[in-house]
Structure 1
Amino acid sequence: MQYDPDSRSSARYKDDFPSTGSPTFLSRKRFMLIAWTALVIVSLGCITTFVSYTSSPFSPPQVQAVVDPFGPSTVLKGGPTLSFRGLLTPIHDIRSFLFFLVSDNLLADVQYITSWVSAGWTNDVMTYINLIYLGLITDRVAIIPEFIPSHVGGHVAPVPFERSLTYLVFEVCWKSPFSSGGKSSTFVDDIGCWNVWEAVQYREAYPRRSRSINDLNLDISFTKAPEWIKMIPNYEHDQHVTFWSLARLAFPTTRAASLVTPQPSPKHQVSLPPDEHLLCYDYLYYVSAHQPFEMEYDYSPAWRYVGKYMHWTPALENLANDYVRRALGVLEDAPIPPFISIHVRHHDFQNWCGETPIQDCFAPLPVIARRVQEVQQELLQTKGIKASHVIMTSDERDPAWWREVSELGWFTPDHTDTVALYGEWYPVFIDAVIQSQGAGFVGTDRSTMSIVAARRVESWQNGPHKMVKWGSIGADDH
C-alpha cells in the first residue's frame, strides 16, 4: 500500500471551533437506517418517548417501541441501578439521583459495545458514528456516553448524546455521575477493555485517555490489542485501524488467540480480560474501512450507514433558522431563501502554517468567493436553484476580516448573546446546523467540521460542495 505522509497533515484530524455550552440538537428521523442493534444512552436524566424506526439496507428484524423507560424493551431488562455490575435496588426518581446502566439490567442473549471520546466535538461525533457502525457489523447494541467539553473547558457540563445525535431504535435516559449538582456515586465499577491506542501509535505507552472514564466511575483493566489491527503496518504517522480488524476481536476465536496479560486497573489493581458481554475499546476515532480519514469520501460506509441518518432535533433546527432569518433579514416564519453556507477555519490552523506568514497561509476571501461562485453556478445548472445569499461561519476573530466578509455582501449569524442565552456549546452547534442547511457548501480543506458539513449537505440537501485548500500562496489555484 502506497501512502503519502505529506498529503495527510495531522491538521486534518483536528476538530474545528473551540467548542462552547449545553445543547438540544440532532434528532430522530422518521425513517432511518437500523440494524437490529439499538442504542442505549448513558447521559443526563430526561423524560423521553420511545420511537421505533423502519427502513434499512440491512433489512433487520423490526424492533418494537416502548413507552416506559423502566419497562421491558428489546435490549434492557428494566431500570438502572447505582452500579455497572452490582445488583442494587433500582431507583426510579431520575430527577434526583445518579444512575449507571448495570450489567444486571443487560439481557444475557444481547451483546453490547461501547467506547469513549477525547478529540473535540466534531471528531467525537465521527467517533460515535464509527462505534455505531462497528456495532452494526458485530451485531451489538451500542452504548453511547456523553460528549465531553474538550474545546469548552472543565467548567462546562458534558452533552448527553440523546440531546444531540440520535440514531435510535429507542432512547433510555440515565443520570450520569457528572453534572449532578456536586453529588456523584462513589461506586467504582471494574471492567476489561481493549487498548487500541497503544497498538497503533508509538509515542504513548498507555491507552487513550478520556475524561468520560472518570465521569462514569469506571476502573478499566486494558488489554493491548494485537499489532495487526493497524491499517498501515509500522507507519508512525498514521493511527488508523480497519473496522473488520476490530470486529474480529468481538468474536470468540480471534479474541481467544489475541489475549495477552491485561494491564491492572489504576484504582483496584484488578486484571481483567476484555469483557465479552459488554465489548469496549478505548478509542474509535481512527477507524476506517479502506483508507485513513475516509469519511470525507462519498463511499464511506460509516457515513452511508450511520452518519447521514443523524438529524438535528426540531428545537435546535428552529433555533438555527431564527439565526438565519435574522442574518438575512427574513421575517419570522417566512420561507428561508436558498443560500450557500461557508465554514472557514482559521484559529488553531495557524499552528500548522509553520514559518509561512498567516496572510500567505490562509486562503484569502477572493479565493473563497471563487469557490462560492462555482457552487452557485453548479446549483443553477444542475438544479435550477439561484442561491444568491451566502452565510459565513468561522472561528476567525479579526474584526477587519469580518468587515471584508460584510463588504462581499455575505451574511453571518450573530452570536453576541448566544452563550448568555443558551450556553457555551451553542455557537458551534448553531453554526453546524446552518452549515448543513446550505443548498451548497464551501469548506476548509482538512477541517473535520467542514468534512462533516459537506457530507450533510450532500446527503440531506443533495447539494454540491467545494473545499478551499490552504497552506501557501496559490494553494487553491485550479
Structure 2
Amino acid sequence: MDSDTRYEDKWPAARATGPAAFLSRRRLALVAWLALVIVSVGGLTTFIMYTSHPAAQITETMDDVLRNHTHPSTTQSHVAAALDPFGPSSALRGGPTMSFRENLRADTKYITSWVSAGWTNDVFTYINLIYLGIITDRVPIIAEFIPSHIGGHVPPIPFGKVFDVPRLRNLLGTSVLEWRELKNPSSTFVDDIGCWNVWEAVQYREAYPRRSRSTEDLRLDISYTQAPTWIKMIPNYEHDQHVTFWSLARLAFPSTRADSLVTPLPSPKHNVSLPPDEHLLCYDYLYYVSAHQPFEMEYDYSPAWRFVGQYLHWTPELEQLTNTYVRRALGTPEDSPIPPFISIHVRHYDFEAWCRGVPIQECFAPLPVIARRVREVKDEIFLRSGRVVNHVVVTSDEVNATWWQEVAQLGWFTPDHSDTKELYGEWYPPLIDATIQSQGAGFVGTALSTMSIIAARRVEAWQNGPVRMVKWGTPDADDH
C-alpha cells in the first residue's frame, strides 16, 4: 500500500557545537535516566539494549515495565517519569487542558505545524518540525496524522500510535510532545493564535495559507502573517517551493521576527488579527524544508534525517503486528525467528499520471528489471556479511492480478491484506507495509516515491542494509 509521491546546518552554537557535543549530551541524559530508573524501581532488570550508536534503545513498552517490574512502594507516575524523563511532565504544567494555553509553561517555548500531503510526506513534515524545534531550542508539538491518502471518512490517527514517542524523546535527549498531551481532544474550546504563513511566500498559485484538517480538529482559529519572500530557497523560481531550515529559524528569534512583521490576516472564526505567537511558534506547512537543496531526505547527509528521522521508530505494537504478517507471508511458525529477507516497494497507481503518454507497460519497470536490482542487493549483503538471503517480500499498490501472479512465480512473498482494513482499520495496510519495508536486510524501492525514500533510509540506518532505487518513466530508464 502507498500513501505519497514526492511531487506533490548546522547545530546551533548555543547548544554546543557539532554532532560530538550532541552525542555527549545524549550520553549524559542516558546516564541520568538510568540512575532515575535504579533509584525509583529498585532491582529493575536491564531493559536497555545497546547498539553501535551511543544512545540506548528501549526494548520494553511502558505497560510491560509497569506490569512486570513496579515495586509496591513505587507509584506509576514515578516509574513513568523515570522511563520517560523528557515526557509531558517535563514540558507541560499538567494533563491535557481545554485550552492549550492553560498548559504551557512560562519557562518553555514551543513550536508546531500542520500536515497536508499524504501520510509519508506528513512523516517528512513532522521530522522537519522536530529538527526545527531542536535548532530553535523549542519543544515540538506534533498533531495527528490526517487521512489525506485514504479518505476523509477515516478518523485521524495519533502520531504516538504509529511511532514510539518515549523512545524518540530518550534517543534525542529532549522533549517532543503530541497535541493530545497538550489539549484535551474532546475540548470544544476554540483557541486563537497567530502563525506564520510560509505557503504564500514560496509558491505563486494559491493566494492563501496551506490548508489542513488538523487546525479544525484541534479547534484553532488562526490569524496568519505572510512570511518574507527571502525564506524561499531558490528565489523567484516557480517550480520549487522549498525553504531552508535556518531561514525559518530566523523568524523564531526577536530581531528578525520584528523586522518581518506585516499586517496579519484576520482569523476565519473570531475575526481577530494576531502577530505570530512567540510562546507557541507555528508555521502553516513544513514539508518543503531542507538545509541545502530540495528533497534532500534522499541524501545521506540530510540533517533532518541524521538528527531526527533515524530515531523515529515504530511502536512495539505495530512491529509485533507486522511480524505476524511477515511470518504468515513466509510460512514461518509463530514461535520461530523471522528469516532475513529483502523488502521491495513497487509504486505504480498514482504514478501513471507521470508517465506523460508513455504506455504503462513501458513506463513502469518490469519485474525482471526489479529482479536484477534484488540480485545486486543479495550480492552486496553476502559481500558485507557473508549472509545468504533467500527470501523476498514485496509490497505494492498494484491491483493487477496478473502482475501479482508473476511476483509469485519469482518465488517472492507478499503480505495478505485481504482483511486488514476490517480487522484493524484503513490506516493499517500502509502502516504494516512501511514497517515491513524497514525490516529488510536490504531494500529495493521505486525512484521518486517518498515511501521508498524513507524506507531506504530506515534500512540503511536500522539494518545496515544495502538499498537500490528502480528508475522508471521509459522502457530503458533503469538500464545500467
Q: TM-score range by the shorter chain?
A: 0.7 to 0.9
What is the CA-CA distance between 1:81 and the residue it aligns to? 2.2
CA contact (8 A) 1:72 1:78 kept: yes
How do 1:195-214 and structure 2 match up within 5 A? 195-214=197-216
Task: Provide Cα deviations, 1:277-300, integer angstroms capped at 9, x if missing partner.
Answer: 000000000000000000111000
Determine the C-alpha separation between the residues in 2 that align with 1:72 and 1:331: 40
1:387 aligns with 2:381: no
What is the CA-CA distance between 1:335 and the residue it aligns to? 1.3
1:12 aligns with 2:1: no
1:77 aligns with 2:128: no
Provide the aligned length of Structure 1 versus Structure 2.
411
How do 1:66-105 and structure 2 match up within 5 A? 73-83=89-99, 102-105=100-103
Determine the C-alpha separation between the residues in 2 that align with 1:194 and 1:449: 28
CA contact (8 A) 1:177 1:215 kept: no
CA contact (8 A) 2:242 2:288 kept: yes
Q: Aligned with 2:238: secondary structure?
A: coil
Structure 1 residues 72 and 264, CA, compared in 2 at 3 Å: closer, same or farther?
Answer: closer
**Residue 353 of structure 1 aligns to which amino acid in structure 2?**
C
CA contact (8 A) 1:193 1:220 kept: yes
How do 1:175-254 and structure 2 match up within 5 A? 185-254=187-256
**Residue 347 of structure 2 aligns to which amino acid in structure 1?**
R
What is the CA-CA distance between 1:463 and the residue it aligns to? 0.3
What is the CA-CA distance between 1:11 and the residue it aligns to? 5.2
**Residue 12 of structure 1 aligns to which amino acid in structure 2?**
R
| TM-score, normalised relative to structure 2 | 0.81
CA contact (8 A) 2:342 2:393 kept: yes
What is the CA-CA distance between 1:269 and the residue it aligns to? 1.1
Structure 1 residues 292 and 73, CA, compared in 2 at 3 Å: closer, same or farther?
Answer: same
Determine the C-alpha separation between the residues in 2 that align with 1:413 and 1:240: 36
Identity %: 72
Task: Provide Cα deviations, 1:423-443, integer angstroms capped at 9, x if missing partner.
Answer: 111111111111000000000
Give the unaligned 5+ runs of structure 2.
9-23, 30-46, 56-79
CA contact (8 A) 1:34 1:168 kept: no
Per chain length, whose mean CA-contact separation is higher, i.e. which structure has more relative contact order (CA < 8 Å, sep 6+)? 1
Determine the C-alpha separation between the residues in 1 that align with 2:48 and 2:283: 28
How do 1:266-277 and structure 2 match up within 5 A? 266-277=268-279
More helix by share: 2
1:155 aligns with 2:153: yes
Determine the C-alpha separation between the residues in 1 that align with 2:196 and 2:279: 13
Match of 1:362 in 2: 364
Task: Provide Cα deviations, 1:205-234, integer angstroms capped at 9, x if missing partner.
Answer: 100000001111111000000000000001
Determine the C-alpha separation between the residues in 1 that align with 2:327 and 2:104: 46
| TM-score, normalised relative to structure 1 | 0.81
**Residue 118 of structure 1 aligns to which amino acid in structure 2?**
S
Determine the C-alpha separation between the residues in 2 that align with 1:419 and 1:277: 40
CA contact (8 A) 1:33 1:306 kept: no
CA contact (8 A) 2:437 2:455 kept: yes
Determine the C-alpha separation between the residues in 2 that align with 1:354 and 1:191: 43
Match of 1:118 in 2: 116
Determine the C-alpha separation between the residues in 1 that align with 2:300 and 2:470: 18
What is the CA-CA distance between 1:175 and the residue it aligns to? 5.2
CA contact (8 A) 1:147 1:160 kept: yes
What is the CA-CA distance between 1:72 and the residue it aligns to? 8.2
What is the CA-CA distance between 1:172 and the residue it aligns to? 6.4
Structure 1 residues 178 and 372, CA, compared in 2 at 3 Å: closer, same or farther?
Answer: farther
**Residue 333 of structure 2 aligns to which amino acid in structure 1?**
L
Give the unaligned 5+ runs of structure 1.
1-9, 15-30, 37-50, 58-63, 84-101
Determine the C-alpha separation between the residues in 2 that align with 1:35 and 1:207: 41
CA contact (8 A) 2:96 2:180 kept: no
Determine the C-alpha separation between the residues in 1 that align with 2:441 and 2:48: 30
CA contact (8 A) 2:98 2:184 kept: no
Match of 1:19 in 2: none
Task: Provide Cα deviations, 1:411-456, integer angstroms capped at 9, x if missing partner.
Answer: 0001111111111111111111110000000000000000000000
Q: Which of these residues, 86, 106, 109, is aligned with residue 108 of structure 1? A: 106
CA contact (8 A) 1:345 1:394 kept: yes
How do 1:294-443 and structure 2 match up within 5 A? 294-443=296-445
Q: Aligned with 2:357: secondary structure?
A: coil
Match of 1:474 in 2: 476
**Residue 245 of structure 1 aligns to which amino acid in structure 2?**
S
